[in-house]
A and B are shown apart, each in its own frame.
Chain A
Amino acid sequence: MEHKDYKSINKSVRKKDAMQLLLGKPVYTNDVTPDNALVVKILRSPHANAMVESINTAAAKKVPGVVDIYTWEDVPQTRFAIAGQTYPEPSPYDRLIIDRHVRFSGDAVAIVAAETEKAAEKALKLIKVKYEVLPAVSDFRTAKDNPVLVHPEEDWFPPCEVGGDPKRNLVASADEIHGDVEGIMAECDIVLERTYHTKAYNQAMMEPFTTYANFDRYGRLHVISSTQIVFHTRRILSRALGIPKSKIRVEKPRIGGGFGAKQTAVCDVYPAFVAMKTGRPARITYTREESQIAGSPRHEMEITLRMGAMKDGRIRVMDLYTLSNTGAYGEHGPTTVGLSGHKALPLYTGSLEAHRFHYDVVYTNHQAAGAYRGYGATQGIFAVESMVSELAEKLGMDATVIRDMNMIKEGMVMPAYYNEIANACALDRCMEHCRQMFNWEERSKVRDMGNGKVRTAGVAMGMQGSCISNVDVGSATLKLSEDGTYNLIIGAADMGTGCDTILAQMAAELMDCDVEDVAVFGADTDVSPYDSGSYASSTTYITGQAVVKACNELKKQICTIAAGMMNCGEEDVEFAGTCVRRIGTEQTVSLTDIAYKAQVNNTTPAETTQTHTSPVSPPPYMVGMVEIELDKLTGKVDILNYMAVVDCGIPINPALATIQTEGGIVQGIGHTLFENVTYDPSGRPIESSFMQYKIPTRLDMGRLKVEFEHSYEPTGPFGAKSIGEIVINTPGPAIAHAIYRATGKWFRELPITPEQIAMSLAEE
């Protein structure tokens, strides 16, 4: 199907909140909540695995301004998970608000509530804790069946069966085979087997985790939080605190970035608990260190991939095993791992005859992992794309040509992706487009620049999904106002991505009005219609389709009211943007009149709420190419140019889709070259601040260029698919490929540091 000429779709309109944000207006949690709230601080374990033998808070409680201090003895004993996922969550219920058993360096030991930050800080220093320090599981390769158990407790509870067994440190495990993997492997001319390792990268969104809680005028718990998941947070709090959902309201103001970090209720429970205990407003704001060491970063994964291919470059079979490190708690562990296979292997549906995908997800005494843009796909794609490039180089083929040969094409059934059909797939056009735009033929040549420096390029493809199929639910409420403008109310969370704006663009397109005439509000559990939340790349695709449904329904209702006003049947009128017209006549009634009529002696609402879900999760596709200059003597890699072409169906807002892509690419560059996550011998994280965890600056990313290839996804709004996550998936393998071309060395662990490069070359 072709795309039409649209009035508001595929237009680069400004984000609705842009000027507020750029002019520094107070719109974030800490700006909109009162400063008289109690300051909540957490005392954190210095040990990776320990039991709290005794804890003495007497001296700390005497600090002037300290209101109260809570320990494991004071909290409810119901285990819960803080993953923002649809109930029943695949994540195990393995947490308490404070557990006597602390499982990572940074785990909560006590909650301090004080009038001022200074008093709270002072109290933290005065709490005396005696720990029984236990041996820790520090290497995820040794976690499975380790005698040290991260979760020995008897009340560990999995709401879903995902193959977990805490007595083996296993959170999830599975094995799936399609076709005769070993038989085909035996027929192949070349079989490669390699192991790839990626780290527990931190989202490092600029706004740290922060939550405010108080009791509202109805005596209900009102939580204002920087969160992507208001409804899940309400459910999580309800279970953790043991209070009914009708007593909780969760609201998000503007969010200072999330990237998945805020798809986990990392800190929400603490001020909520304090507010309940004290009856006073309470607020917690994580320091950057807390955000780094007690947040919800990416799952560290080690992927062992076997690939069988023919001499002509045909890739016939892949066997991918993922070992995933969920850390001390299981949030998102059972689900992220799935994407490492399901959103990497299907890239080669074009030729793949058989595949096996198996995995184990293990507990360790590291910081608990969570959701991070890419959600496992990034890790799997690093392995698969690195190996395809290695295969091409081994066979003497161009790395783009081998992909032309093997890639998924439109109309194919994807056995590695739940047998979904690629109804919209322009990956082949993305490759050709990017090849031309980038001038691959010239830039991929290895060019000696003198003084030990070489320039060359690398390539990678990526995919993702557009929702969690058969799970995610999005809703939209659309209301007509008296002046013919609209209110669009959603439960999805704009965390800077611009979803408020693109959903308004959809409404404007269908209601035939200006984008400015659609006011957007989100998200508040008291006000918003139910939405799973903004994650899994689902907002454009799922909530967008709910907006489409709401527009169509509201038009009908407007026509019903108008027909009543014109004394004719509903079938005799048509919606005409600013008015409703009686078909075949000049007779119209304006939207303003209709809206006023709706408020007088009327039973047809001028508003509607519509809900959407999807049985499929159509993948967006992308090609990324990077040009680097590599200094063979220092090992330094400079990114010169990164170009990408994305098939997201159609970008609803090309400017915002471009920025999403560029932002994702630069995060990926950071993971590949600078950002590391390591622990010292005592199990403490080393990269616990921006002084040590080095995200890219604007001097580290070269120049970017992003363009789009359109496809038409029949199940998406206006043919659209997702954009938010896929964009982080190509830098790892593309840069690793470029580094190989410059050095002749494959690096299979990220980040690839200058030291690794220089020292491996110096050995020669």
Chain B
Amino acid sequence: MITIQKYVRAQSLEEAWQLNQNKRNRILGGMLWMRLGKSSINTAIDLCDLGLNTIEETEEAFSIGAMVTLRDLETHNGLNSYTNGAVAHAVQDIVGVQFRNLATVGGSIWGRFGFSDVLTVFLAMDTYVELYKGGIIPLEQFNNMKKDNDILVRIIVKKAPCKVVYTAMRAQRTDFPVLACAVSCLNGEYRASVGARPARAQIYRDENKLAAGAVTEENASAFAAFVAENAPTEGNVRGSAAYRTHLIRVLVKRCMLELGGI
């Protein structure tokens, strides 16, 4: 069980940031798995008063506050109409409704967890994170940064021309994925975001234009094979490296075919 000395509802991002510069302080996300932690926190910083719990949709983008819950993502009409349900699909098998009412987008993305369905699906889109000090940077760049003491304020999904499909392999329906996979055609370029390898999701672009033009059985297989070759996998209790690589081939291809309406 994590122990906490003090709890503060920050009244400004600046206050939160100042508090967060102390290594023994911590920003709260959804607070899931608190009992698993062993750390001792001086001040728990809550962003819940900062109005970061909304999804704002404009002509150009979705702006998703860090405190938006996974359940909010699941039920947001605009986001799911833009992604053809891929976002809802990505989160709906995460434990249960009650869990998803707590888990936040900010916590999921900030954690850059290997198993994250959320990170996986957003990487497939034209997504940015807004950091309090670091400004707006692509999610892909953030994904590969070391954790620091900045604050993730919101994520921004630009409404680029994008089709995205999500699928994950789970042995038991609400378990962590054995492999998570989002494939998109973003600004005309195919890309696969593959998570739970079990390392965190990474983007694999169709650099060789294997799938240029219409999706076919053949080029879907070729792109899937390309991703499988390039995405490193490892073994853990949920599956071996070889099985994960096999799943990449299967799932990326299936996503491609679905993207192509085949």
User: Do the beta carbons of B243 and A759 come within 8 Å of each other?
Assistant: yes
The yes or no answer to B34 lying at the interface (CB within 8 A) is: no
Expressed in whole angstroms, the Cα–Cα distance for A692 and B239 within the complex equals 13
Let me know if A762 and B173 touch, CB within 8 A.
Answer: no
- B1 and A700: CB pair below 8 A? no
Instruction: Report B106-137 CB contacts with A as 1/0, cut-off 8 Å.
Output: 00000000000000000000000000000000
Q: Known: A633-B250, A759-B242. Contact between A692 and B237, CB under 8 A? A: yes
Give the distance in Å from the alpha carbon of A700 to the alpha carbon of B171 in the complex.
Answer: 9
Closest CB of chain A to B97's CB: distance in Å? 12
Interfacial chain B residues near A636, Cβ < 8 Å? 169, 171
* In the assembled complex, A439 has its CB within 8 A of some CB on chain B: no
- Evaluate whether A755 and B1 lie within 8 angstroms (CB atoms) in the complex, with A634-B169, A636-B169, A762-B246 already known: no
Q: How far, in whole Å, are A653 and B130 apart by their CA atoms in the complex?
A: 61
Pick the contact of B243: A451, A691, A755 (CB < 8 A).
A755
Whole-angstrom CA separation of A634 from B174 in the bound complex:
17
State which of A633, A678, A754, A762 has its C-beta within 8 Å of the C-beta of B171: A754
Shortest distance between the CB of A759 and any CB in chain B (Å): 6
Within 8 Å by CB of A699, from B169, B173, B247, lies: B173
- B240 interface contact, C-beta 8 A: yes
Greatest chain A CB density within 10 A among B1, B173, B239, B251 is at B173
A134 within 8 A of partner (CB): no
In the complex where A634-B250, A758-B246, A759-B246 touch, is A694 in contact with B237 (Cβ < 8 A)?
no
Question: Which chain A residues lie closer than 8 Å to B240 at the CB level?
Answer: 755, 759
Interface flag for A674 (CB, 8 Å): yes
Cβ-defined partner of B173 (8 Å) among A121, A678, A686, A697: A697
Q: How far is the CB of B187 from chain A (nearest CB, A)?
A: 29
B178 at the interface (CB under 8 A from A): yes
Q: Which residues of A585-629 are within 8 A (CB) of B?
A: none
Q: Say which residue of A452, A634, A686 sits within 8 Å of B237 (CB atoms).
A: A686
The answer to the question of A256 belonging to the interface, with a C-beta cut-off of 8 Å to chain B, is no
Residues of A within 8 Å of B173, CB to CB, are 697, 699-700
Q: Give B141-181 interface residues, CB cut-off 8 Å to A.
A: 169, 171-176, 178
CB nearest neighbor in B for A118: B3
CB closest residue in chain B, given A686: B237
Q: Which residue of B lies closest to A674 (CB)?
A: B172
When distances are taken between beta carbons in the complex, the residues of chain A under 8 Å from B172 are: 673-674, 694-697, 700
Q: How far is the CA of A699 from the CA of B237 in the complex (A)?
A: 22
User: From residue 666 to 689 of chain A, which have CB atoms closer than 8 A to chain B?
Assistant: 673-674, 678, 686-687
CA distance in complex: A636, B239 (Å):
13
A351 within 8 A of B: no
Task: Chain B residues near A696: list those with CB within 8 A.
Answer: 172
- The proximity string for A residues 110-133 relative to B, scoring 1 for CB distances below 8 Å and 0 otherwise, is 000000001001000000000000
- B171 partner residues in chain A, CB cutoff 8 A: 636, 673-674, 694, 753-754
| CB proximity of B201 to chain A, nearest CB, Å | 19
Chain B residue at minimal CB-CB distance from A762: B246
Closest Cβ of chain B: how far from A495's Cβ, in Å?
25
Question: How far is B250's CA from A691's CA once the two chains are assembled, in angstroms?
Answer: 26
Q: How far is the CA of A759 from the CA of B249 in the complex (A)?
A: 13
Q: How far is it, in angstroms, between the C-alpha of A695 and the C-alpha of B173 when the chains are bound?
A: 10
Residues of A within 8 A of B176 (CB): 691
What band does the interface of chain B fall in when counting residues whose beta carbon is under 8 Å from A?
Answer: 20 to 34
A686 and B175 CA atoms in complex are apart in Å by: 15
CA distance A521 to B251 in the complex (A): 56
A155 to B66, CA, bound (A): 62
Which residue of chain B lies nearest to A125 when distances are taken between CB atoms in the complex?
A: B38
Please tell me if the beta carbons of B237 and A758 are within 8 angstroms of each other in the complex: no
Interface contact B1-A758, CB-CB below 8 Å: no
Q: Which residue of A lies closest to B249 (CB)?
A: A633
Contact A121/B1 with A692-B237, A755-B240 known, Cβ cut-off 8 Å: yes
Q: Which of A634, A697, A700 contacts B247 (CB 8 A)?
A: A634
Residues of B within 8 A of A762 (CB): 246
Residues of B within 8 A of A700 (CB): 172-173
For A452, give the chain B residue with the smallest CB separation.
Answer: B250
Give the contact-size bracket for chain A. 20 to 34
Q: CA separation between A633 and B247, bound complex, in Å?
A: 8
- The interface residues of chain B lying within 8 Å CB-to-CB of A452 are 250
Smallest beta-carbon distance B161→chain A, Å:
28
Which chain B residue shows the least CB distance to A634?
Answer: B169
Complex contacts, B36 vs chain A, CB 8 Å: 691
Q: Which of B222-262 contact A (CB under 8 A)?
A: 237, 239-240, 242-243, 246-247, 250-251, 254
Interface residues of A in 432-454 (CB under 8 A from B): 451-452
Which B residues lie within 8 Å of A755 (CB)? Answer: 178, 239-240, 243
Q: How far is the CB of B29 from chain A (nearest CB, A)?
A: 17
| Cα(A755)–Cα(B247), bound, Å | 9
Min CB distance, A635 to chain B, in Å?
A: 8
Shortest C-beta distance, A344 to chain B (Å), equals 28
Interface string of A734-764 (1 = CB under 8 A from B): 0000000000000000000111001100100
Complex interface bits, A687-723 against B, C-beta within 8 A gives 1, otherwise 0: 1000110111101100000000000000000000000
Neighbouring A residues of B175 by C-beta, 8 Å = 674, 694
- Specify which chain B residues have a CB less than 8 angstroms from the CB of A678 in the assembled complex: 237
Q: How far is the CB of B198 from chain A (nearest CB, A)?
A: 13
Give the residue name and chain of the A residue nearest to B251 (CB): A634
Minimum CB–CB distance for B229 against chain A, Å: 16
**Set of chain B residues within 8 Å of A451, measured between Cβ atoms:** 254
Given contacts A755-B239, A759-B243, contact A697 B178 (CB under 8 A): no
Residues of B within 8 A of A694 (CB): 171-172, 175
A754 B178 Cβ-Cβ under 8 A: yes
Write out the residue numbers on chain A whose beta carbons fall within 8 Å of the beta carbon of B174.
697, 699
Least CB separation from B179: chain A residue: A634
Expressed in whole angstroms, the Cα–Cα distance for A695 and B1 within the complex equals 24
Complex Cα distance A271/B1, Å?
22
A571 to B242, CA, bound (A): 82
Residues on A with C-beta less than 8 A from B3 are 118
Contact pattern, A 321-336, Cβ under 8 Å of B = 1, otherwise 0? 0000000000000000
**CB of B89 to closest CB in A, whole Å:** 14
Least Cβ distance of A101 to chain B in Å? 28
> Can you name the residue of chain A whose Cβ is closest to the Cβ of B239?
A755
Chain A residues near B247: list those with CB within 8 A: 634, 758
* Docked pose: A687 CA to B250 CA in angstroms: 28
Residues of B within 8 A of A753 (CB): 171
A634 to B251, CA, bound (A): 8
Within 8 A of B (CB), among A619-661: 633-634, 636
A673 and B176 CA atoms in complex are apart in Å by 15
CA distance A633 to B171 in the complex (A): 13
Closest CB-CB distance, A724 to chain B, in whole Å?
A: 25
Interface-centre pick from B239, B243, B254 (highest chain A CB count, 10 A) = B243
By a CB distance below 8 angstroms, the chain B residues around A118 are 3
Mark out the residues of chain B between 1 and 30 whose CB falls within 8 Å of any chain A CB in the assembled complex.
1, 3
Q: Which residue, of A633, A673, A692, A755, has the highest number of chain B Cβ atoms within 10 A? A: A755
Is B169 a contact partner of A754 (Cβ separation < 8 A)? yes
CA of A762 to CA of B244 in the docked complex: distance in angstroms? 13
Mark each residue of chain B from 205 to 235: 1 if its CB lies under 8 Å from any CB of chain A, else 0. 0000000000000000000000000000000
A548 to B174, CA, bound (A): 46
With the chains together, A697 CA to B247 CA distance in Å?
23
Which residue among B172, B237, B240 has the maximum number of chain A CB atoms within 10 Å of its CB? B172
Would you give 12 A-B contacts (Cβ < 8 Å), ordered by A? A452-B250, A634-B169, A634-B250, A634-B251, A673-B172, A674-B175, A695-B172, A697-B172, A700-B172, A758-B246, A759-B240, A759-B242
Q: A673-B172, A759-B243 are in contact. List 4 more A-B contacts (CB 8 A).
A: A121-B1, A636-B171, A700-B173, A755-B240
Question: Which 10 pairs show the lowest CB-CB distances between chains A and B?
Answer: A694-B172, A699-B173, A755-B243, A633-B250, A674-B172, A694-B175, A755-B239, A697-B174, A634-B169, A700-B173
* Residues of A participating in the B interface, judged by any CB pair closer than 8 Å: 118, 121, 451-452, 633-634, 636, 673-674, 678, 686-687, 691-692, 694-697, 699-700, 753-755, 758-759, 762
B residues lining the A interface (CB < 8 Å) = 1, 3, 36, 169, 171-176, 178, 237, 239-240, 242-243, 246-247, 250-251, 254
